[in-house]
Amino acid sequence: GENVEQHPSTLSVQEGDSAVIKCTYSDSASNYFPWYKQELGKGPQLIIDIRSNVGEKKDQRIAVTLNKTAKHFSLHITETQPEDSAVYFCAATAFGNEKLTFGTGTRLTIIP
């Protein structure tokens, strides 16, 4: 089955700097890669996703890149703000699989 590894497990950055979180996946059949943000006491919230037919997707301060050959994808957050502090999860699945396989999460702390 699919296995997703996520690094780093914790990340602290100064407000205004950029943050990068990386994930690798094992199943070459995976073709949908969402990123979730989870705040304390809440469920994971989808912040951006990418499908295997594109290499990069951007939404304001957030971007995701995908390298299918190397089987890795990354989340980039620019101009970080205190409200970006949360736990971020990457995930992978294939269309028709119905199951998301999650990474182990990255606790991001933005230092004011």
Partner 1 sequence: KAGVTQTPRYLIKTRGQQVTLSCSPISGHRSVSWYQQTPGQGLQFLFEYFSETQRNKGNFPGRFSGRQFSNSRSEMNVSTLELGDSALYLCASSLVAGLDGYTFGSGTRLTVV
- Site residues for partner 1 per CB under 8 A: 32, 34, 36, 41-46, 49, 89, 91, 93-105
Reduced to 3 states (helix: H, G, I; strand: E, B; else coil), residue 96 is coil
C-beta neighbour count of 75 within 10 angstroms: 25
**Strands 45-51 and 32-38, sheet pairing:** antiparallel
* CB distance 27 to 2 below 8 Å: yes
What's the min distance (Å) between Cβ of 104 and partner 1?
5
Q: How far is the CB of 91 from partner 1 (least distance, A)?
A: 8
Q: Which is nearer to partner 1, 9 or 14 (CB)?
A: 9
User: Please, what is the minimum distance in Å from the beta carbon of residue 29 to partner 1?
Assistant: 11
